[in-house]
Structure 1
Amino acid sequence: MTTNVFGRIRWGGIRPALLLLLSAVIPIIVVAGAAGYYFIQKEKSALDESMLAQAQRSSVAIAKELETQVQLLTILSESPRLDPPLNTSQFARIAERLRLRVPTWDRLRITDREGSIVLTVPEDASRPKVPLVDTASHQQLMEKAQPTIGNVMRGPGGAVAFPVRVPVIRKERTVYGLTAVIRPQAVTDVLHSTGLPSSWVGWITDRDGKLVAASRDAPSLVGGDAVKFAVSHVSIAEPHLGALASGQEIRIRTATVADTGWTVNIAMPLSKFHELSLRGYQILGAAISISLLLSGVATLVFLREQESRRREDAALASWQRMDALGKLTGGVAHDFNNLLMVFQSGVESMLRRREDEKRVRQVADMMLEAVGRGKAMTQRLLSLSRRSNRDASIIFLQQRAEPLRELLKKAVQDGVELEVDFPPNLWPVTVDAQGVDAALINLVTNAREAMTSGGRVSVRARNVDDLAFEIRKLSGPGIAIVVSDDGPGIRQEHLPRVFEPFFTTKGDTATGLGLTQVYSLADRSDGYVAVSSVESRGSAFTIYLPRASGPVPEVAQEPAPEVLPRKVLVVDDTPSSLSVARLALQDEGIEVVACSGGREALSILNDHQDIELVLSDVMMPDIGGIELSEIVRKRHPSLGFVLMTGYSEAIEKGQNVDVPVVVKPFTKIELREALSRGMTAVGRAGANIVILRR
């Protein structure tokens, strides 16, 4: 047991720190995951840019290589050996020496303006002379008189090459075309020299879409359609996707080679690119998963912390309630002991001087007055816990102004001035009249206790056309009862708690239940109570009550004739209470049959057909009074029924009963009125509860 307690204490101390740690860690993980995902996306963008840079770098390198070829040929084209008429043998010797110095030249050719081959270096005597293959680039050369790069071609012998042509210009006229036939391997070497990553692939296409060179071995495809090497899917935006002939999917960036119509393509495996995306999603997913896990842990810890706090608050509230209950019990015990003292002294006085009729009468009056005070005290205590509005009726507060003024005068001291103003045009409200009296007495008493040096208390009522203008919790017409004073006021930090049960600032002498009763009355009357205060300027409590919607009951001009039963069955499981009720009925000349339980009462009713009314206690062990009334009214509809109770939780909660209820201790007049109403209500199912004087 001790270990468990210490374990809970240690865990209770760790929970707040753990919550604080989780609240700090979770955002960090989320931010880290988002940052990781963002950096992965940036890395993907950087990879695309790297491919584009590689393509541009390769295109520039190839353009420079081709430009170098053009410059060498241009220098050679200016040789006097090419002056017409052409001395082929002399030029052949010069061309052969130069070709040996430029290994990328497979052969050199001179063509005339019509495209006929005039000279080939080196000359292969075993091969027959063939016509010019790439006539388009030759025609362009002659028309524009500018260097031209031809398309890659496959010659009659199967060899693949592309021409670099420059014009031989004499006297501002192109007389020959000088061509260097170059193997594609030269371009492939340039492609590799630009630092192409091993996992990437690069290839070059000419203006006709033929494959000029590739970074991977593809000799059989060079000179043919490039789509046999790689297919680029149609895409508006760069980069675009494609696939190699092997089926491997790739991501492609391109760049053009200046003044050639060639295109450099750089690609990387799409799987490598997707690895980055997958890594980014994995980082983000891991961050989300960890965050959700930690959020779940934080939620669990938070709920446990809340539950722990609720238990602590409940324990504290319970302790406070017990402390306040102890104060309340002490106060009630003090008041009841005073009442018991009246009875004890009275009984002893009557026993000593039983022959002194005047003295006995005086003592009896004192005892009856004590009974009234005790009954009022219990009713005030019960009003604190009452949750129903069963005692409410439609009333005009202005009709109670004078009696209420007299009650409130008793709650103030001589040094406090009291003002009560209830205008005659106040609207009717549905409220417990005695609850209003108790609430106003509590408010005036609080004001008087706050003004130790005297002051002024005002109790005013007024009509409000729409309660929502003053208090948003309500709507429609109603009345406002304002109790204000010019005392020291309430501290601002205490204002939100003034209506809490057992909350008090008066020290150990107060119970903290007075304002709770005020709040309870307003709440069960579908109203509201508000408080405002300015320190050193006073306080104001306003009770808002909605206007009654039902018809206002008319005041009876003549009392109804009293009808009393001739024979009554009294049911009560408390012998003393049963005896008192029997004596009270017998004093009225009524024949009485008594029993101590509901089952016995049902049996007696079957045997005594002359019983006219049942007077039953509410709280009984076998069959309660409310249940008994329902059974009797079904079996014996001609019988009257009256309930008597000191306290009934069911009735206090608002349970509807169809018979009159008289509250213990009751006077002879209250008993006669209840019996009369019980008799007149016979046969009228659904009769309302009779509200008796308390």
Structure 2
Amino acid sequence: MALLALAASVPLVLLASFAGVLILRQQQEEMQETAREATFNLADTLQREFDAQVNVLKVMAASRAFDNGLDLYEFRDLAERALTTQPNFTAITLNDLTGVRIARVPDDSHIGEQAKDILSHELVVATHQPSVGNVTQFPDEGPVFAVRVPIVRDSKIKGVISTTLKPSVLVTLLQASRLSPEWISLVIDGNDRIVARAGDQGDFASQPGSIASDPARKARQTADAGVYAGRTLDGRSTNAHYRMLPGLRWSVHVAIPDKIYQEPVRRSIFLAVTAGIVALAISGVFVMLLLRELRRGQEVGRKVEDGLRLEALGRVTGGVAHDFNNLLMIMMGGADILKSRSGDSTRVQMIADTIASAAQRGRQLTTHLLAFARRSSHDPISFRIQDRIAHLAVMIERAINPDICLQISIDPHTPAILADPNAFEVALINLAVNASDAMPDGGILTIRAHAWNTFRSPNSVSISVTDTGAGIPQDFQEKIFEPFFSTKPTGKGTGLGLSQVHGFAYQSGGDIHVRSEMGQGSTFTLVMPRSNAPPVPSPLPIVSNEEVEGGRLLIIEDHVEVGSITGEVLRASGFKVKLVESAEEALDVIETDKAFDAVLSDIVLGDGMSGLDAAPRIQSALPNAAVVMMTGYSEALARGATCGFPLVRKPFDQAEVVRVIQSAIAQGPNKEAA
């Protein structure tokens, strides 16, 4: 038995060492995945930070202070208020079209001088779009970088508002990612200079403005995201992931020092060598015992000794077998418990409901943040308020005080208006929330809409929001639409809600009025231009599973688990699903099988062709099929919103994705997008 146990132990030792090597290799792969996810998350965080700064400057640029020229007094007043709410801003400046500094808050230093980072200023003037400049050394401020926004009136740029931020703002963002302190995270600007650096408690710390390493610069020129063999500025090798920010030449890098990254490999080699030595030792013992066993007949005196050895080895073998039985019992018992749970449908349903509820709350939160952070262009269409008010009412009821009674009175003959429907929804919700704040103890909130035709505003539509609150003092009514002005206590309001409503009204060619008396409540009236174009139909209502007619559906999703669960959801909704993991694979499938009613594709598809790039080719190959995009990235949402194809945002539930696909099938293929 001892010989048998030793013979069996050799493959067990080798198998255990092989399993250990696989586990250690998996640790290395997990480090790669963690670094990749951290890079994408940091890039998204940095993009949101830039967008937040841009949004503040956009609010200033839309102020009435610049409607009739560059009013320096009004600019200083706006800038001083903005600085009190934006601690990361070091200064706010106003430049003319040539880049010459006209005004600066908090002081008037360097007035008449040209902008240091003139390239980012010229980019704003040329494109009429915001820009983020590169890190620049200022004698009195040190290293800073600029965020710039144009002041545009009647499609003409009048000037540029800029703010400067210190790289320490970005260092704080990097530190908040909570990566291992031995890992390195970097932000590099469009001039290949390091703006911020965190992690790696070594003896070297790069200063803002240092040139990035050669491998980092070459990788940035090759692709928008990837992995490269990096090297720190003090010569240490790293395994680095990076991602470029959309629309900028800035990038985020997360590097794992080779000493850490190669540690699992070194340990796996040590484990394999040790296991080999142990296996050889056991094999040697096995040979020795075998030789002794063969000499048993010749050495009677050795029989007793061999017997004692076999007895001892038998006891050890029995103990090992007992331990293995205990482990097997735990595994088998756990399996039996899981089997017994399979019939507990009530408990399973309760857990499923809990998960679904938590997911829905998370989805609502991200929706609000995206709406605040993402950069969106003004995209007016013709639509009727009465077609969308039911959906809006649900969102408003969730946003206001539950003690408030919401009343809606929409004239069914109200004409269509010409405006951006998303901005209109945000404006109406802002007015409703403002009214709700005016009625902390409850009251009545009334929304009305009807045709409006006066000498000042002919051929218009009036949308009013009335509350029964305390009213607004007369001396405040001229200021409430100014950016950062708020009657609420510190920390309770940003002063941006009514400013957004004012900006939306004027951007849409309309107007905003307020009528209020102390103790009599307030009425805010949006006056919007009528549309002469036919109204765009509102989204189709959600369809229940019983109403689904099904059809053949091709899903393109590079994340296997997401694709699998999406496919199962749509199969349960009556569709016949074909799942592929890349745009290239989808095009190959379409070559031989064209019997698809719709194609559902993710926008971001790993390192291959994107969904937006593949969509026109798919539409050309399947002219009778509907093409629907899906994504969960804020910048991909901004691109997808203007791509011409229906878009569904992740995470989505069964009813939502079925509604979008069915609506796309019912309306037919998007010829304009194709």
TM-score range, shorter chain: 0.3 to 0.5
TM-score by length of structure 1 reads: 0.41
TM-score by length of structure 2 reads: 0.43
For the pair shown, the structure with the greater C-alpha radius of gyration is 1
